Structure 1
Amino acid sequence: MEEDARVKAVKAVEAIFERYHLIAKARSYHGFDYELISSLKIISATPKGEVEFELVSDEKYGNLNRVMHGGAAALIFDMCTTTALGPLARPGYWDFLGGVTRSLNISYLKAIPTGTTVRIHSSVLQVGRTMALLRGEMRSVDGSVLFCTCEHHKVGVSTPKENLEVKVDWDGWWGEDGKQKAKI
């Protein structure tokens, strides 16, 4: 049963990525967040709102000093911590990209050289109807080096109707009453 819950949690995060890509394709959108979503590899997720990703910090995330740019780290944390809400989401409650950022506080601890593969761990610390507190860490793949951390406060807002009109498998998990169907 626990493994089924983890698989479902990963599928909830994948649904965010799937909807994102479908919307981007329909709008011919290829902004910097598109590049990030296309580069992230989902490693694991839990039903309580934890997600782990891998990402190669290549040149597009770097600066002239050949290390990850602080602004790139902010984008990475913004997107990765937000997706931790995916396993907790349901229609009308933190669905799709979970609202807007209220504050994103990052502590940069060690430079990330260009070409380094990092693990990003995101977790939901608290979530309510309209506010959420998320945490993120960016580490070396073996976990021995902590590069940076973040605390991310989000405010829940309704997902634009046109974004929810783009359907993904996740939408079929829910009944018209907004309750989860028994079988997924």
Structure 2
Amino acid sequence: MPESKPDAEADRQKAMAAVQAMFQRYHLLSAQRPNDHIDFDREVMRNMKLVDAGMDGSVEFELLITPSYSNLNNVMHGGAAGVIFDMSTTTALCPLAQPGSWEFMGGVTRTLNISYLKAVPIGTTVRLKSKVMSVGRQMAMVRGTMESLDGRVTYCTVEHHKVNAPVLEHMRAVRVDWDEVFEREWGVREGGGTFKSKM
């Protein structure tokens, strides 16, 4: 039976909250770093704008390709696509997270395979679309595209394979509002462990 509109919107809002929580925790952790420490992915995480997300493991962002991502040809550097895709595809796992699986930052990258189809001029705002194609307890695969806003141009595509990894304790200690929702849904006790399973 198809999902009713109110249920579909509630799921969309829940998925978006799960994705936003990753950004909130990232920014809180980043603020704890020394002032002269600049993380490689910070520019991406500061500037990606969430457009949509789904409980099926889908997410969409918009991102302005600024001169920070450029090469000498005044187009986006191929290496910049790597970090942009790494962060945007990882977020697709947020709505699918379970205790011990695909929590904050969705594990670690195993492979990130990018196909470059067309150069992205600096000053272009792109649409990043990601979808989880396969997810298990230890491995996941996410596909993504970087497109023009009107969807007529696909600049590059990605296939991102991830391996689940535990959240580091100092990262888990940084709390965001989503943690309470997540713990209530999955029956997680404060300090770790579960007292019931949603499954």
Q: Structure 1-normalised TM-score?
A: 0.95
The 5-angstrom pairing of residues 3-18 of structure 1 reads 3-18=9-24
Match of 1:19 among 25, 30, 37: 25
SS of residue in 2 equivalent to 1:14: helix
Q: Which residue of 2 aligns with 1:153?
A: 161
Distance 1:180 1:17 in 2: 26
- Name the structure, 1 or 2, with higher relative contact order (CA <8 Å, separation 6+): 1
Q: Deviations for 1:119-157, whole angstroms, at most 9, x for unmatched residues?
A: 000110000000000001000000000000000000001
Q: Secondary structure at the match of 2:106?
A: coil
Please tell me whether residue 138 in structure 1 is matched to residue 146 in structure 2. Answer: yes
- Whichever residue aligns with residue 147 of structure 1, its letter is Y
Aligned-residue sequence identity (percent) comes to 55
Q: 1:31: Cα distance to partner?
A: 1.8
CA contact (8 A) 1:86 1:94 kept: yes
Q: How does 1:173-184 map to 2 (within 5 A)?
A: 173=181, 174=183, 175=187, 176=189, 177=194
Task: Flag structure 1 segments of 5+ consecutive residues without an equivalent.
Answer: none
Displacement of 1:93 in angstroms is 1.3
Q: 1:38 — aligned with what?
A: 46
Secondary structure of the structure 1 residue equivalent to 2:101: coil
166-175 or 145-154, which moves further after superposition? 166-175
- Aligned equivalents of 1:179 and 1:79: distance in 2? 31
Measured against aligned partners, the alpha-carbon deviations of 1:10-47 in whole angstroms (never above 9, x if no partner) come to: 00000000000001111234323011100000000000
Please tell me the residue identity of whatever aligns with 1:27.
R
**Which structure: larger Rg?**
2
TM alignment of 1:33-72, pairs within 5 A: 33-72=41-80
Aligned length: 181
Match of 2:117 in 1: 109
- C-alpha distance in 1, partners of 2:134/2:30? 30
Q: Distance in 1 between matches of 2:138 and 2:42?
A: 26
Alignment CA distance shift 1:179-1:63 (3 Å): farther
CA contact (8 A) 1:91 1:178 kept: no
- One-letter code aligned to 2:84: I
Q: Which amino acid aligns with 1:156?
A: N
Q: What TM-score comes out, normalization by structure 2 length?
A: 0.88
Q: Which runs of 5+ in 2 are unaligned?
A: 1-6
